[in-house]
A and B are shown apart, each in its own frame.
Chain A
Amino acid sequence: MSEQGALKETTYREAVKEALREALTKDERVFLMGEDVGHYGGCYAVSKGLLAEFGSERIRDTPLSESGFVGAGIGAALGGMRPIVEVMTVNFSLLALDQIMNNAATIQHMSGGLFNVPLVIRMATGAGKQLAAQHAHSLEGMYAHIPGLRVLCPATLEDARGMLWTSLQDPDPVLIFENNTLYNMEGTLPNNAGAVEIDSARVLRPGRDITIISYSASLYKCLDAADELAQKGIEAEVIDLRTLRPLDDATYLTSIAKTHRALIVDEGWRSGSISAEISARIMEQAFYELDAPVERICSAEVPIPYAPHMEIAALPRVAAIIAAAKRMVSHG
């Protein structure tokens, strides 16, 4: 740890931009393309300034053609480039779902291993900005259903900074979901922060009484809940899944073997969700460790509404996490 270098103040947005800058600098095959990434500076200002730095060939504005430019990204990857395709939001990515699923995720298997697709797709995800039902969903779990993809959810500055480079080294398609509410998050990173591994979950806060499993922006609700629970004498262990596919089972199973309780917090819808998948895996692999049924806090099963009170009500809340944790700890 002593070799990390000095710490600097930064934001999640800046961390992603630094990662892009590093990739564009270190590897000539890397380029960024997507809607408004160049002249506009990125819908969330992530790529602001990169056009002047790297030019329009490598910071490539695209027409509003999600399927076309994601497909072109797949082709460019097959042709030897290392494209980073930015899709403005996860809802828009559905326009490219055919390319992502039927081509990117499929070509390697369908070709008997002849071709692989080293493509990175970044997109904003999540609710919390009153953007209503076509800009605010969390479909990471849906993408995690698809074999052939890696699905990453950087929640911390360290991961925002470090997951991109590792993803670009991967021979297969990697989807990186950046929760839109995290872009302004401030914090510190070592000056020499860089690539991180993308295979394992991480314990963000250790605890002995209950395991709270989450990812992306919801983790901060879990940490707030854990602070409050600690004041009541309940020590929650908070786990950041980091990667939704392939899932790292070992980290949460190890935790559950200690706490004997598992609460999953997921901004996705409950039915058929990643939380459902994890719950099933816990049942399959740690049934006899449990002192209480697995519980889940998910988004309400509605399209995300515009009105502020309704949007808040639709999402996982700290109070609900605390209530569930207390209930589970008092059980058995």
Chain B
Amino acid sequence: MSNIIDREHAINQLRQMLLIRRFEEKSAELYSATKIRGFLHLYIGEEAVAVGVMAALAPEDAVVATYREHGQALARGMSASSIMAEMYGKQEGCSRGRGGSMHLFDAATRFYGGNAIVGGGIPLAVGLALADKMLDRNRVSCCFFGDGAVAEGDFHEAMNLASLWKLPVLFICENNLYAMGTALRYTQAVTDIASKAYGYGMPAKAVDGMDVMAVEDAARTATEHLHQGKGPYFLECRTYRFRPHSMFDTELYRNKEEVEQWKKRDPIDLLSQRLREAGLLSDQDWAALEQSVAEEIEAAVDFAEAGTWEPIEDLTRFVYSERRRA
């Protein structure tokens, strides 16, 4: 990692993490106010992973994410307004209100969901990469998944396929130590997740997922490897979810001390402290960041509130393509 901090870039990373944090805090509030329904899985605590990885991706790369994907969607550049409207169920939402929190999609940023079957999105990333390889396009397909997904067959099948066919897939395991409410040690014979990649002949690295600069640095190493056509790369980001699994979780499986310990390594605090120590972030800068993030979220909420309901007559649209050729 470079010791010289690119201030503009670092402030941008900080702002993105702050945007995700405040966006989700607002989402939780709106959930309690019943503006948002269904499942709501918050990413709070894990922001450095999405922000760090996205910084290493190019606009033409593809992203496949999980049901805990507000952070990825925002960091990928989807607008807070389109995501908030989606969670409101409005037709101005990124998925017309058909997907909700767990199924955010966007063609412009090649964001292929929002997949709520654990592990289900991983083979899709393999296929996206296969298409790129067959069409001779040098770009990356990046899939995010949690430590829980590592137990799924799709994970292992996809790892093998990607390595066998030397496909440019960036596997990002967000290891937050719990598959919903069951600790990794109760579900995995081998809890060192990165080591699983070696069985597939794939280079792998485990990185501090609370340190956005470390994540970005590791992701850049990974994408360089991918662009050289050497096959997939596996990155385990060790992180922690500060909030419950979803809004229905009473957190019986972990204690407050553990959560508090991890909060001391809050990714936003870590970066802001580092910038302050380097003299690159003043109180005024911070206040300005908070202000601009607050304005963006306020605009997103306004957009969602002003959004409209898709007409019920449209219910059966998009089951089959309307542009079917003769």
Contact = CB atoms under 8 A, between A and B. Distances in A.
Interface string A136-170: 00000000000110100000000000000000011
Contact of A75 (B98, B131, B317): B131
Contact of A112 (B93, B153, B321): B93
B154 A72 contact: no
Contacts, number: 163
A114 B94 CA distance: 9
A38 to B, nearest CB: 13
Contact of B325 (A98, A112, A113, A169): A169
A143 B158 CA distance: 24
Task: Find the residue from B103, B112, B160, B322 having the highest chain A CB count within 10 A.
Answer: B112
Nearest to A169: B325
Majority SS of interface residues in chain B? Answer: mixed
B298 interface: no
Task: Find the residue from B91, B114, B320 having the highest chain A CB count within 10 A.
Answer: B320
A113 B322 CA distance: 9
Contacts of A80: 131, 135
Nearest to A57: B134
Contact of B120 (A65, A102, A171): A102
B103 A110 contact: yes
B239 interface: no
> How extensive is the interface on chain B, given as a class?
35 or more
A112 B99 contact: yes
Interface residues of A, number: 43
Contacts of A172: 320-321, 324
B252 interface: no
A79 B320 CA distance: 18
A114 B104 CA distance: 11
Given A71-B123, A79-B130, A148-B320, A63 B93 contact: no
Which 4 pairs of residues, A with B, have the shortest CB-CB distance?
A75-B127, A71-B123, A68-B157, A79-B131
Interface of A: 29, 31, 57, 62-63, 65, 67-81, 83, 98-99, 102-103, 107-116, 147-148, 150, 169-172
26 contacts: A29-B135, A63-B160, A68-B126, A68-B153, A68-B157, A69-B161, A71-B122, A71-B157, A74-B124, A75-B64, A78-B128, A79-B130, A79-B131, A79-B132, A81-B135, A103-B115, A103-B117, A103-B124, A107-B112, A110-B95, A110-B105, A110-B114, A112-B93, A112-B94, A115-B107, A171-B321
